[in-house]
Amino acid sequence: MGGQILGDRYQVERQLGKKAGRWTLKAQDIQTASPVILKILFLDDGLDATDLRLFKREVDTLKLLKHEATPRYLGYFEMAMPTNDQAMVLVQSYVDGVSLQTYLGQSRTFGEVEVREIARQTLEILDTLHSHEPPIIHRDIRPSNLLLQPGLPVATARVCLVDFGTVKALSASTTAITMIGTDGYLPPEQSAGRVLATSDLYSLGATLAEALTGQSPLKMRTKGLRIHFEDFVDATPDFVAWLKQLLSPSLENRWQSAQDALVALNQLA
């Protein structure tokens, strides 16, 4: 597929992801000479209603987002496939960077100072998302969706949050949802089909714990869905307590907002 031009404008460079009925491609915008991401959803007999709903929601959400550390909406078009089926194509900006997952896959862990900086920048992004009306919930924060731009060292990198394919705009009257996310990073309420803004905080906490320890959250999870990371890290007691509150399985004991968590983080010695 490399070299093919889609939408009379986007020259495909390579495939980044492929799932049933969905492709993610990196391409070059031949009008602006800039890299873009194409997310393609095939409108065939195998199309799942949930996939269609999530695709349309991602389009609508990216139109709203103006944050420098998230992808930008660039366009949308439909195209015919060789099978005579149609496909919907979302065009978004390409966010260059190295994911936390890439570093963890290389057995690279992060120290407390680095993890604090990753947490600080991510919480600032989440505060912006959650401040929308209604709040925008990412629902799938994990190491592969946090990028360091351009890469290490963390102290000089911008943290970017990508992949809004599971995003949810949450109204006060509708909190029951289909269970979506990645096991190990899901808070208990999201596993049960319910999501709140603070659900993103738990997922961030699981990601930070993995960055600190190099251990999968599933391996550190104990009875009661508590991620017991303390024995794997060399960190200050105050930061450990802060992260434990971010990871509280109980909604009542978790930080109540990204802003609250960010203020508390900035107050740590």
Residue 144 pLDDT = 96
Long-range contacts at 57-61 (CB < 8 A, ≥ 24 apart): 57/167, 57/168, 57/169, 58/90, 58/164, 58/165, 58/167, 59/90, 60/169, 61/136, 61/164, 61/167, 61/169
**Residue 122 shares a structural domain with residue 231:** yes
Given a cut of 60, whether residue 178 has pLDDT beyond it is no
**Which one of 93, 122, 144 terminates a domain?**
93
User: Does one domain contain both 116 and 201?
Assistant: yes
pLDDT more than 70, % of the chain:
94
Residues 197, 87 share a domain? no
Are 55 and 167 part of one and the same domain? no
* 127 and 89 co-located in one domain: no
Residue 126 has pLDDT above 80, yes or no: yes
Would you state the pLDDT for residue 134?
86
Q: Under 8 Å CB-to-CB from 102, ≥6 apart: which residues?
A: none
Task: Supply the CATH number for residue 195's domain.
Answer: 1.10.510.10
Q: Is 41 exposed, middle or buried (0-12, 13-18, 19+ CB in 10 A)?
A: buried
Check residue 47 and give its pLDDT: 84
pLDDT in the model for residue 173: 40
CA distances from 200 to 101, 105, 130, 161, 196 (A): 18, 23, 9, 12, 8
Indicate whether 58 and 168 sit together in one domain: no
One domain, residues 61 and 181 = no
Q: What is the pLDDT of residues 10-35, one digit of tens each?
A: 999 999 988 878 899 999 999 999 99
Which one, of 79, 75, 98, lies nearest residue 87 by Cα?
A: 79
140 and 232 assigned to the same domain: yes
Co-location of 131 and 205 in the same domain: yes
Mean pLDDT calculated for residue range 232-247: 95
Q: Where among 46, 76, 93 does a domain terminate? A: 93
Judge whether 8 counts as a catalytic residue: no
For the chain, the domain total comes to: 2
pLDDT at 82: 72
- Residue 174 confidence (pLDDT): 43
- Looking at the DSSP bridge assignments, the partners of residue 36 are 27, 93
- Among candidate residues 44, 48, 140, 234, the one labeled active-site is 140
Give the domain extent around 79. 5-93
Q: What is the mean pLDDT of residues 78-95?
A: 89
pTM of the model: 0.91
pLDDT, tens only, 198-230: 999 999 999 999 999 999 999 998 766 789 999
142 and 256 co-located in one domain: yes
Here the tokens at position 160 are 């970017």
Is residue 137 domain-shared with residue 225, that is, in the same domain? yes
Residues in the chain, how many?
269
- Is the same domain home to 75 and 115? no
Which CATH number goes with the domain that contains 37?
A: 3.30.200.20
